[in-house]
Amino acid sequence: MIGYNLFSGELPKQLDPNLTRLEIQSNNFSGRIPSEIWSSKDIAVLDESNNGFSGDILVGLTAFSGILTLSLGRNRLSGKFPSNIISWKSLTNLGLENKLISGEIASAIGLLPNLNALNLSGNQLSR
């Protein structure tokens, strides 16, 4: 965990492929989230909230079927709400607040068996 520091610039692309937790919240990272992060199928906790990341939120979000916590809120990510999230049966916490996300929220998101916390506030979503 290197959250709550003053790290800035782009996130390095050379990350351990066996990484299970990446907590870099509340720094000053910018640019796109490296595709190498999306290819880490073992990641259980990904908290990149409160940075300056930009780009399409859908890029790469298909690989995280076993993720427990995904927090990308308070960045400059945009795009459509990722419909494949409803297949993430292990997901317990989802934070996608204060972004430029649009589209419909899949009604089945309420059926995720382990989802305890959901924050989608500050977007342009519909039902």
CATH of the domain at 19: 3.80.10.10
State residue 61's pLDDT score: 72
The answer to whether position 1 is within a domain reads no
The answer to whether position 2 is within a domain reads no
Of 18, 6, 55, 21, the closest CA to residue 35 belongs to 55
State residue 108's pLDDT score: 76
pLDDT means per 10 residues, the chain with 127 residues, are 94 85 96 83 91 85 81 92 85 91 84 94 89
State residue 18's pLDDT score: 84
- Cα distance between residue 74 and residue 49, in whole Å: 6
User: Which are the contacts of 16, defined by CB distance < 8 A and separation ≥ 6?
Assistant: none
Q: Residue 115 has which token pair?
A: 């989802």
Can you give the residue range of the structural domain that contains 13?
A: 8-126
State residue 68's pLDDT score: 94
State residue 24's pLDDT score: 96
The answer to whether position 90 is within a domain reads yes
The answer to whether position 105 is within a domain reads yes
Domain count, the chain: 1
The answer to whether position 3 is within a domain reads no
What is the model's pTM?
A: 0.90
